[in-house]
């Protein structure tokens, strides 16, 4: 696949060649655990056992690597399985990880409760403050810097090239969780990151019908191995691979990623602009708004839009809790990135593991995953839900 081809062309064609046997335009789902050998260890096209390789998975991996401008991609059973595999592929007991404080709660739980007992320590830091990041990197023991931008759920924007410099000066790797932006809007490997992690459950799958994760690596080496070698071995030996049917769904979703994400971004910007004009909304977070503190940086490192997630604060936690049950089109649910709009209360739902810590999410913060529906319908839904909680926000509803 030529790297000169545009993003949408690669999305449709990379790793998705028609089946040479039948001419089927869509490559078949190789729903098989094992492969017939032509002699002892004489493999047909290199396939032996689906934990090691499977054509449906490999096609999706090739497609994703082409879109992230990576050397290789590896698909896993979930986003968190991908993160776990990447971290275990590169870390050794005694290593230290620096993580953006405003990052997915499950990544923090993985570091604290799974990798912590195996001798990995970590420090969380405000990702938007590079000077603060520099003070927590421990040259000699920090092996990985882990960044999420835009962040979840505050939509903070961090400087990927700046983080990459700090990582590389300390001999560490920079990993960027690119789930929120997706490669349609941001390609961290081009900005200096060494690896990208994804929950493909979100924008890549795009239809809320499949759970998956992926790691995409550039050409960096670490501890005497390329990242591709290290992650490939972990995928095979750890075994948390994505199944063929899940890879088929993720690959199908990925073909329309650009189209969908442009629509998500257009709708999200309109919703954020509308929220910004509301007196009963205390504060909105969307990097596409010029008032957002990270807007300039987002414009520099993202393209074609700012993503489909918007968060905002209502005057009280009570109002937020009632509001998220008052919408009709926005479904009350965790997750994001599907074609349908979803709403959630992070402090009680996605980010409940942070409750009671100094990183607790404010009780009045609401997160929207803005879908691809007609935006006027989405705004009308938010409008009626705000009217429904006006007794809690003090907002006067026009008669
Ligand atoms: C930014 C981010 N990274 C990783 C994950 C974990 O992915 P999964 O739920 O597919 O395991 C999530 C899930 O919400 C996420 O939002």
Instruction: Using the CB atoms, write b or e for 109-145: b if 16+ within 10 Å.
Output: ebbeeebeeeebebbbbebbeeeebeebbeeeebbbb
**What pLDDT is recorded for position 399?**
60
Tell me the torsion sign for CA atoms 38, 40, 45, 49.
positive
**What pLDDT is recorded for position 166?**
98
- Based on the residue annotation, tell me whether 51 is a catalytic residue of this protein: yes
- Based on the residue annotation, tell me whether 187 is a catalytic residue of this protein: no
Paired residues of 42 in beta bridges: 39
Q: Say how far apart CA 247 and CA 29 lie, in whole Å.
A: 9
User: What percentage of the chain reaches a pLDDT higher than 90?
Assistant: 92
- CA 49 to chain CA centroid, nearest Å: 29
**What pLDDT is recorded for position 3?**
63
Strand pairing category for 96-100 and 142-148:
parallel
Annotate 259-296 with DSSP letters as a single string: HHHHHHHHHHHHHHHHHHT-TT--EEE-TTSTTSTTHH
Domains of the chain: 7-255 (3.40.640.10), 258-393 (3.90.1150.10)
User: What percentage of the chain reaches a pLDDT higher than 70?
Assistant: 99
- Based on the residue annotation, tell me whether 321 is a catalytic residue of this protein: no
Inform me whether the pLDDT recorded for 365 exceeds 90: yes
Scan for tokens 């993720």, then name that residue: 250
**What pLDDT is recorded for position 343?**
98
Q: Which residues contact 102 (CB under 8 A, 6 or more apart)?
A: 126, 127, 148, 151, 152, 153, 154, 156, 359
**What pLDDT is recorded for position 1?**
52
Inform me whether the pLDDT recorded for 274 exceeds 70: yes
- How far away, in angstroms, is 79 Cα from ligand 1 center? 5
- How far away, in angstroms, is 224 Cα from ligand 1 center? 30
Mean pLDDT (whole number) for 3-27? 95
Query: 106, 103, 105: which is closest to 84 by C-alpha?
Result: 106
- The rounded mean pLDDT for the chain is 96
Inform me whether the pLDDT recorded for 304 exceeds 80: yes
Provide the whole-model pTM.
0.97
Q: Say how far apart CA 158 and CA 175 lie, in whole Å.
A: 13
Annotated active-site residue in 30, 104, 203, 286 = 104
Mean pLDDT (whole number) for 203-212? 98
Residues with CB under 6 A from ligand 1: 78-80, 104, 106, 148, 152, 177, 179-180, 199, 201, 211, 213
pLDDT tens by residue, 172-198: 999 999 999 999 999 999 999 999 999
């Amino acid at each position: 696949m030529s790297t000169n081809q545009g993003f949408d062309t690669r999305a449709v064609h990379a790793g998705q060649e028609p089946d040479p046997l039948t001419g089927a335009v869509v490559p078949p789902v190789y729903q098989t655990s094992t492969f017939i050998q032509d002699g002892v260890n004489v493999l047909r096209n290199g396939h032996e056992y689906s934990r090691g390789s499977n054509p449906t998975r490999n096609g999706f991996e090739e497609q994703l690597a082409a879109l992230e401008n990576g050397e290789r991609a590896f698909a896993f059973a979930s986003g968190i399985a991908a993160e776990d595999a990447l971290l275990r592929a590169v870390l050794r007991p005694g290593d230290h990880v620096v993580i953006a404080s405003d990052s997915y709660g499950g990544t923090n739980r993985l570091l604290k409760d799974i990798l912590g007992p195996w001798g990995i320590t970590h420090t969380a830091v405000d990702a938007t403050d590079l000077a603060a990041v520099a003070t927590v990197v421990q040259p000699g023991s920090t092996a990985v810097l882990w960044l999420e931008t835009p962040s979840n759920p505050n939509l903070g924007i961090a400087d990927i090239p700046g983080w990459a410099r700090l990582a590389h000066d300390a001999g560490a790797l920079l990993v960027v969780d690119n789930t929120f932006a997706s490669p349609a809007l941001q390609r961290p490997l081009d900005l200096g990151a060494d690896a990208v992690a994804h929950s493909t459950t979100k924008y890549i799958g795009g239809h809320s019908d499949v759970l998956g994760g992926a790691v995409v690596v550039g050409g960096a080496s670490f501890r005497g191995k390329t990242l591709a070698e290290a992650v490939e071995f972990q995928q095979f030996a750890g075994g948390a691979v994505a199944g063929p049917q899940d890879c088929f769904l993720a690959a199908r979703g990925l073909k329309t990623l650009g189209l969908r994400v442009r629509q998500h971004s257009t709708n999200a910007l309109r919703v954020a602009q509308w929220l910004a004009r509301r007196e009963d909304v205390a504060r909105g977070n969307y990097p596409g708004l010029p008032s957002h503190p990270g807007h300039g940086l987002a414009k520099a490192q993202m393209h074609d839009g700012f993503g489909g997630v918007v968060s905002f604060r209502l005057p009280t936690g009570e109002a937020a809790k009632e509001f998220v049950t008052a919408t009709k089109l926005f479904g009350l649910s965790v997750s994001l990135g599907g074609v349908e709009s979803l709403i959630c209360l992070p402090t009680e739902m996605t980010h409940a593991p942070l409750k009671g810590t100094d990183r607790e999410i404010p009780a009045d913060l609401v997160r929207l995953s803005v879908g691809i529906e007609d935006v006027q319908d989405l705004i009308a839904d938010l409008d009626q839900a705000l009217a429904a909680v006006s007794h809690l926000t003090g907002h006067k509803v026009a008669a």
